Structure 1
Amino acid sequence: MRFRLSFSFLFLFILALAGPVHALPAAPDTEAPAAETVHPDPLRRETPRSMVSGLIEALAELDYDRAAQYFDMPAATSNRQRMNAVSQARAFHALLDNGGSLKPFATLSNQASGRVDDDLPLDQENIGEVTVQDKKTPVLITRSEVDGQQVWRISSATLGQIAAATRRVPAGATGETAPQDEYLVAGAPVKDWGMLLGLGVMVFGGLWLVSALVVAAMRRLVTDSAASGIYRFFEAALPPASLLLAVAVFYTWAERLPVAIVARQTLLRYTGIVTVIALVWFGLRLVDAISELVIARMQRRQRRQIVSVVTLLRRTVKILLLVFSGIGILDTFGIDVTTGIAALGIGGIALALGAQKTVENLVGSVTVIADRPLQVGDFIKVGDVVGTVEDVGIRSTRIRTLERTIVTIPNGDLSARQIENFAARDRFLFNPTIAVTYATSSAQLQEALAIVRGVLADEEKIAESWRARLGGITDRAFNIDVFSYIDTAEFDVQVAVRENLLFTIYQRLEAAGIRLAHPSQTVVFQGDGQGKTEDGQGARAEHDAGSARPRLEKEERPGR
């Protein structure tokens, strides 16, 4: 049955990786319409994000013919129309380089339908703005059909506003004529790349230096830095926080620098990766700081089992952080990871079914640690197992028995069983039954009670709430029942106190001539004069409970 389940999940996993299942071909005698094949847009204009990315690539290559295809205008049918489109693309590029801006890559919608919560029509998106004559003009894109496909392009209304504004500007004021002797790298001048990278290094370096000085000052002020939670938090948080703050400052200042839109937009796009790295760096350092602080405290309390769980949780959180950061970075590069995540989900279900006992033991270990029914060093009883706990691990607990053997119990079973912890008791029960013989008179019985009470009263380790009473008259002895507690949590101490109490009681009873009863059995033989002594008394054979040899003694009562 397990093999069939594993095979089924493996089959589903392969189907998930293979993609959607297509319909089977129709029967030969059935006429089915031919399915129209839809090819992806070669300019990648399906989503606002991919459209902006393609436009930036075209501007970086100074390919204004291709850049013009991202404008919502009729297709050029003549050389004049083509030159007009190229001129508009060049002018738009110049406006972006001189005070214009586009939204960061991560904030643009990666859905074909665009954003629906931006208070714009469903077929419109705002991707940035340009400045003409100190007036901000939004850059809007619209979704329309081109060659049977829905694509996003810069709206004709935006192009009209830009064209009307640029017609009122003197020639060259829009920056259309760039110096021809500048060396370009990836479509932008080298000085622009240097200016942006220098800004990033300067901002991050300055903030990192400030954070290092703050941590050094706190280290001098804190007495025990290893045990200080505030210091550990700031030590872990300040370096990645300085990187996050540097990213925010870079976003703000980069928009104001007179640099090429290609360099600015490219660096702002990959600055999102730096943001993800900063967040993951902050999370990893914070997890390490918290776990090390908890481990140090637990080691001082000799709770080693919690150290194992904290270590496991730290590794798990780190793995999750790295996985989510990887997904965020892949999304920044435009890689769709939805199919991979679905496949991993099916594979995770199959793995969970195969490792359900391991998961059960892991949950059991967390339950044992949270409920704390036992700790390392405790003397416990679990079912038929009696011994000392040596280790509480992630999967199982090891117990050293009285025979000096090791018994390993899975934590899943341990958490569901009854656990008797002898180490957790605060005092020990002292509850002996003192039996005196029938030969004891009533006065001697009163004296025996007084002796037992006196011994209990003289012992300082006996708790105040004790009692010693004549508990019963059995067929063999008078029973004096003692109920008291030895007020100590140490096993060796209570053993010594118990021995001293019993020895003192016996010694005083012996000095008073009061004999303790012992288990015995009397057998009386009677018949026709056989087995009788000379004075007519019967012979009694008394058997000691601890001996197999009978002994005969005279009984001072007439035989029948």
Structure 2
Amino acid sequence: MHKLNFRIPHFRSLLLLLLVCLFLPFNAEAQILGAPAEKEDKEEKIPEDPLGRRSPRGTVTGFIDAMAGQNYSRAARYLELSSISNQEKREEIVQVLLRLLDQGGDILPYSLISKNPEGRTDDNLDQDTDRIGSISADGEVIDILLVQTRDENANPVWLFSEESLSQIASLTLDRRALVNRIMPEFLQNRIWGGVPAGQWIIAVLLIFLSYALAWSLISFITFLLPRLLKAAKEDPVSGIIGALKLPLMLYAAVWIFVIFSRNLGLSIIIRQKFSVLIIIIGIAALLILLWRLSDFLGKYSQQKMILRGNPSGVSIVLFLQRAVKIAIVIFGVIAILGILGINVTAGLAALGIGGIALALGAQKTIENFVGSVTLIADRPIRVGDFCRVGEILGTVEKIGVRSTRIRTLDRTLVTIPNGAFSSDTIENYAHRDKFRFHSIINFRYETSPDQLRFLLAELRKVLYAHPKVFEDPARIRFIGFGSSSLDIEIFAYLNALDYNEFLEIKEDLMLLMMDVVERSGTDFAFPSQTLYFAKDEGLSKEKGEIAENQVKKWREKGEMPIPKYSEEQIESLRSSLDYPPKGSVARKESPEN
């Protein structure tokens, strides 16, 4: 006689059950949303099978129920035993299969067994074959296969394959399950649902024991981690560990329960009944994990927003956190209903139609919310920034979930929907590193070429000498002949902390340039005609001669700063002007003076 070995469950079977718990929601979703529709033959409708064998799930469910009712003759009708006509022999095979399943077998949870008449098409098996479990005995693993065959009316039915049964029939048992050996006799004689009452009591006690062991194990690990890893004491690692603690306890409890129940030899009937509970616990653990992670990430993001000076982003985080939690609840309800066998396809369709209607009705609201998320993520502006949005110029006062408020220069408050705000052109003045000084000065046509050269040289000297002017680019060029003037362009960047200081420096530069113009003997042009009367003194001949003599000296010495100053000349002029200028109140307050 063959003797069964009582050992730790086969790794592959255990891994399969763990994967069921860990990835159940995805499988459940696939069953709910992605399961192929049943093909219906409109010409000839297949009648219902009284035993429910039209699908693999129906066959397994009917077989387990028949064994729970100890109706072995009915259970034999779920087996492919065409070569065995003796009813006693058929029932004997059923009982052997039951004992092997109790002591070394596993059957997939009902929700993971196909309920379609065609069975599973993605399991790399023949089209008419499905694997629904395995049996470990005599040092080998036997796959339990279902095959699609024909009943007495030539209609398709799913039965336990003759190939699997022939391998199982060669196995015999000479030793009772461990749970039956340790259970009192009076609990073995009382039968509840086809199983000794003691096994139900042990199964319930095993649930509490599994959770207690899982709690002890996970608590010990979470106690040990901060003492071994410094990062485990600080966010975000400590927050993630806290979020994982309860879900890991539940997963570990499921693991321990599956291992103990199989090693003790609990009846496959009990284990199949509890398989639904195990999967629901797996879903609940995943939902708890997602819920806790959303709480932690929400709080962590809010703290980061506040530390970065972006309190307006907190409202966005809260909104997203609530939306994620609602999605978690909806997903969990749908997954659990699907596991319980409730058809939610119609509800999902109605929910989809309602969602489309809601989205159409709240199109602008959604657009504004997406715009606010874009503003928070891209951060083109912050509260307190001075900016231009389209034609609106002002200071940002608040960035909300729906809109952004800007205080204009006229002190009015403009509210812009975030959808329009994020799609418009935004010019932010708060982040510029330099201020541009640009001006075109018009001189009278009576200005001589040498006077113009004097102006170019002296005006450049002002730029090069001023300590608040960036040297590159800092240019002054004679750019053309206007309708009533000779035009000189001034272009430079100024080093200023804010706009007010920029205006101060610009004012100082323009005053210095006016001094140069006054020394040159020429004057600014006006866009008007000039009429000369007898009393008009005209241009200063004396100053004009001085400017021309200066240009003559430059020519003789080869120091003409036209078309540009040499590097040595620029270096000798650098920061040689006084700023703030002499006589200024600001000069007395300057720490450098």
- Paired with 1:236 and 1:39, the residues of 2 have a C-alpha distance of 51
Q: CA offset at residue 336 of structure 1?
A: 3.0
Partner of 2:405: 398
> 1:471 and 1:194, CA in 2 relative to 1: closer, same or farther beyond 3 A?
closer
After superposition, where does 1:57-456 map in structure 2 within 5 Å?
57-64=65-72, 66-72=74-80, 89-90=94-95, 92-118=97-123, 120-130=125-135, 138-146=143-151, 150-155=156-161, 165=171, 179=185, 181-182=187-188, 187-188=194-195, 189=198, 190-217=200-227, 221-222=230-231, 225-226=234-235, 229-304=236-311, 306-369=313-376, 371-434=378-441, 452-456=459-463
- Paired with 1:272 and 1:377, the residues of 2 have a C-alpha distance of 53
Q: CA offset at residue 461 of structure 1?
A: 1.3
Q: Which protein is richer in helix relative to its size?
A: 2
Residues 66 and 75 of structure 2 are in contact (CA less than 8 Å); yes or no, is this contact kept in structure 1?
yes
What's the CA shift string for 1:216-262, capped at 9, x where partnerless? 4378x349824xx4444444345434543443444344322222222
Q: CA offset at residue 209 of structure 1?
A: 0.9
Residues 226 and 232 of structure 2 are in contact (CA less than 8 Å); yes or no, is this contact kept in structure 1?
no
- Paired with 2:352 and 2:403, the residues of 1 have a C-alpha distance of 28
- Paired with 1:273 and 1:448, the residues of 2 have a C-alpha distance of 88
Q: CA offset at residue 38 of structure 1?
A: 5.8
**Paired letter, 2:234:** S
- Paired with 2:247 and 2:442, the residues of 1 have a C-alpha distance of 78
**Paired letter, 1:48:** P
After superposition, where does 1:458-497 map in structure 2 within 5 Å?
458-465=465-472, 466-469=474-477, 480-497=488-505
Residues 222 and 241 of structure 2 are in contact (CA less than 8 Å); yes or no, is this contact kept in structure 1?
no
- Paired with 2:104 and 2:466, the residues of 1 have a C-alpha distance of 94
> 1:204 and 1:51, CA in 2 relative to 1: closer, same or farther beyond 3 A?
farther
> 1:117 and 1:172, CA in 2 relative to 1: closer, same or farther beyond 3 A?
same
- Paired with 2:282 and 2:524, the residues of 1 have a C-alpha distance of 87
> Helix, strand or coil: the match of 1:141?
strand
Q: CA offset at residue 205 of structure 1?
A: 1.2
> 1:110 and 1:207, CA in 2 relative to 1: closer, same or farther beyond 3 A?
farther
**Paired letter, 1:225:** E
After superposition, where does 1:10-89 map in structure 2 within 5 Å?
40-41=48-49, 43-64=51-72, 66-72=74-80, 89=94
Q: CA offset at residue 367 of structure 1?
A: 4.5
Structure 1 range deviating more: 480-489 or 281-290: 281-290
- Paired with 1:151 and 1:98, the residues of 2 have a C-alpha distance of 28
Normalization by structure 1: what TM-score?
Answer: 0.70
Q: Percent sequence identity over matched residues?
A: 35
> Helix, strand or coil: the match of 2:57?
helix
Partner of 2:554: none
Residues 45 and 153 of structure 1 are in contact (CA less than 8 Å); yes or no, is this contact kept in structure 2?
yes
**Paired letter, 1:46:** R
- Paired with 2:509 and 2:479, the residues of 1 have a C-alpha distance of 19
Residues 365 and 393 of structure 1 are in contact (CA less than 8 Å); yes or no, is this contact kept in structure 2?
yes
- Paired with 1:106 and 1:318, the residues of 2 have a C-alpha distance of 25
- Paired with 2:377 and 2:233, the residues of 1 have a C-alpha distance of 28
Residues 244 and 279 of structure 1 are in contact (CA less than 8 Å); yes or no, is this contact kept in structure 2?
no
> 1:282 and 1:223, CA in 2 relative to 1: closer, same or farther beyond 3 A?
closer
What's the CA shift string for 1:283-327, capped at 9, x where partnerless? 333444445444433433334555554444444444444433333
Q: CA offset at residue 464 of structure 1?
A: 0.8
What's the CA shift string for 1:396-417, capped at 9, x where partnerless? 3332222222223233333433
Q: CA offset at residue 497 of structure 1?
A: 1.9
- Paired with 2:447 and 2:174, the residues of 1 have a C-alpha distance of 132
How many residue pairs get aligned? The number is: 489
- Paired with 1:483 and 1:349, the residues of 2 have a C-alpha distance of 57
> Helix, strand or coil: the match of 2:471?
coil
Residues 69 and 193 of structure 2 are in contact (CA less than 8 Å); yes or no, is this contact kept in structure 1?
yes
> 1:296 and 1:184, CA in 2 relative to 1: closer, same or farther beyond 3 A?
farther
> 1:134 and 1:499, CA in 2 relative to 1: closer, same or farther beyond 3 A?
closer
> 1:154 and 1:386, CA in 2 relative to 1: closer, same or farther beyond 3 A?
same
Q: CA offset at residue 486 of structure 1?
A: 0.9
> Helix, strand or coil: the match of 1:400?
strand
> 1:438 and 1:165, CA in 2 relative to 1: closer, same or farther beyond 3 A?
closer
Residues 283 and 332 of structure 2 are in contact (CA less than 8 Å); yes or no, is this contact kept in structure 1?
yes
- Paired with 1:214 and 1:361, the residues of 2 have a C-alpha distance of 47
> Helix, strand or coil: the match of 1:331?
helix
- Paired with 2:208 and 2:65, the residues of 1 have a C-alpha distance of 23
Q: CA offset at residue 172 of structure 1?
A: 8.4
- Paired with 1:503 and 1:257, the residues of 2 have a C-alpha distance of 99
> Helix, strand or coil: the match of 1:408?
strand
Q: CA offset at residue 463 of structure 1?
A: 0.8
Residues 49 and 109 of structure 1 are in contact (CA less than 8 Å); yes or no, is this contact kept in structure 2?
yes
Residues 451 and 522 of structure 2 are in contact (CA less than 8 Å); yes or no, is this contact kept in structure 1?
no
**Paired letter, 2:206:** L
**Paired letter, 1:375:** R
> Helix, strand or coil: the match of 1:432?
strand
Residues 291 and 311 of structure 1 are in contact (CA less than 8 Å); yes or no, is this contact kept in structure 2?
yes
Residues 376 and 390 of structure 1 are in contact (CA less than 8 Å); yes or no, is this contact kept in structure 2?
yes
> 1:145 and 1:349, CA in 2 relative to 1: closer, same or farther beyond 3 A?
farther
Residues 196 and 264 of structure 1 are in contact (CA less than 8 Å); yes or no, is this contact kept in structure 2?
no
**Paired letter, 1:396:** S
